[in-house]
Structure 1
Amino acid sequence: MKELKQAIEAFVKGGDTNNVELLEKTLHSQYQNIQDGFFKEEGIFIFPKAKYLELVGNKTFGGSVRTIHYESIEQSGSIASVKVILESQYLKFYSTLICVCQQGSWKVIVNIPVVEVKASVKSS
């Protein structure tokens, strides 16, 4: 469980600090970010690892430090489903993360975030 949480914390830190190198190590080669909406665009958006790293690298995604609150962790063998709430000054993410353990190393393979703009940001 400790190693799984370390992988999730590295994933969050990589996004918060726009650290593409850290994300490269933390994300599985088949990683996908699946989200409903992309800023003001509607629809389902699926970003593979390379596109996600590009969005983080060019600061479209990330750049704000977030707290992590673990809602649940369900592990079955080498696969884990983790629900977290990630909160920054501006946004709150309700994320479902799917992680896999291969060769003793946990990697994030799927991130399904539901993004909420905080009320204080909406009113400004």
Structure 2
Amino acid sequence: MKTSFITLVLAAITAVTAHPVKRAGGVDDTTVLNFALTLEHLENAFYSQALAKYDEQQFQAAGFPSWVRRRFAQVGEHEAAHVAFLSSALGDKATKPCTYKFPHHDPKSFAALSQILEGVGKLAVIMAARSYD
């Protein structure tokens, strides 16, 4: 997913920096990139909040191997980088993050919700990419 996302973003940024293109229904490149940024803000907050809440011991007590929390931290770092990249590309047109509250109460519910959010994010990127057809 990350490779296809990055490809989409790079293509859109090239178009934005050249000149925004209006699509059917008034959707332009800036709108598409802000849609992606909104999703990245959500994912960034999700991982940041959970990783601040659950330490490695809690992940292990929940039955996860010792490396799992570190992998989630790595994903969280990627989400933060996506936010920084898109925010920089959009400049003063970048959407701001909201305040998010996620329904997880332990590492297992966090991991389950991460699968759902990543799936929704992937589908959203696919649907946004269709505006480029």
TM-score, structure 2 as length reference? 0.29
TM-score, structure 1 as length reference? 0.30
The structure showing larger relative contact order (alpha-carbon pairs under 8 Å, at least 6 residues apart) is 2
Which is strand-richer, 1 or 2?
Answer: 1
Which is helix-richer, 1 or 2?
Answer: 2
